[in-house]
Amino acid sequence: MAQAIPINLQVVLVEPAGPLNVGSVARLCANFGIDGLRLVAPRCDPLGEEARRMAVHGVELLERASLWPTLEAALADCDRVVATSGRLEGPPLPLLPPADALAWLLEGSASPQADPVPQPKMAPGALVFGREDRGLANGELLQAGRLLQIGTGPSYSSLNLSHAVAVVLHELHTLRRGERSLTASPPPTAAEGAMVWANPCRRHDLEAALADAEALLLEVGFLLPHTSRARMAKLRALLQRAQVSEGEVALLRGMVCQLRWASRRRARSESDT
């Protein structure tokens, strides 16, 4: 039997309302070798009797689950993020089948099985699942680099939270064991003249760059307070599609910093004349 490759991954549940679902997800994480569970503003008692009863041998993992006030905070240290969406129309990023989205996630989250040279600690990847009743909002979906959609019958596409987690983690486990190719069509290599992409930057670095950019764009009048949220969502979607690296986001922040300095210097000069 093939051994699953190690992975540094967090399963993130946003505002789960059902303790049975939370317990079931903890059990599924234990079933499929996922060590991290993060709960964003849970609307139930994640350590209550019902959750513990459903967790079975995942109780230890349930007890170690971390609580976060917002999705942004829960993802701050992550780089590759896949969010699940049941929407058929209007998602802010393209919807991908599980195999494609999870292959991308594994490219950055899989750890070397044996490496004699010490490696820097990898940023974790994340799999995000939304609320039982209404899933994830557009702003939350834009925290992800890829959106995953589970194929269902057209008459009723909504899945129970724990069932959706089961389907996705089973697909992930299949990829980790090498029972299915990670990439259906591998990208060209550097030797073939293609650019080699680095891992995406961590979420908190991208959010800090976006906050800097928004402040500057408001200051120079490119954004207006009542429209800034919608326009920044478009910029966030653009950068999420690009999946900027650590070096690239540092470049963006440097540009914003220099532009702010130049703008204020010009304003002072004009006020002195």
Dump pLDDT digits (tens) for 125-160: 999 999 999 899 988 999 999 999 998 887 787 889
Taking alpha carbons only, the member of 100, 106, 112, 111 closest to residue 80 is 106
Quick one: which H or E segment has residue 21?
helix 19-31
Two tokens at 127? 């799999």
Domains of the chain: 9-176 (3.40.1280.10), 192-272 (1.10.8.590)
d(CA 70, CA 107): 26
Dump pLDDT digits (tens) for 216-262: 899 889 989 998 888 888 888 888 878 888 888 888 888 988 988 88
Quick one: which H or E segment has residue 234?
helix 228-242
Q: What is the pTM of this model?
A: 0.76
Burial class (CB in 10 A: 0-12, 13-18, 19+), 116: exposed
CB-CB neighbours of 49 under 10 Å: 10
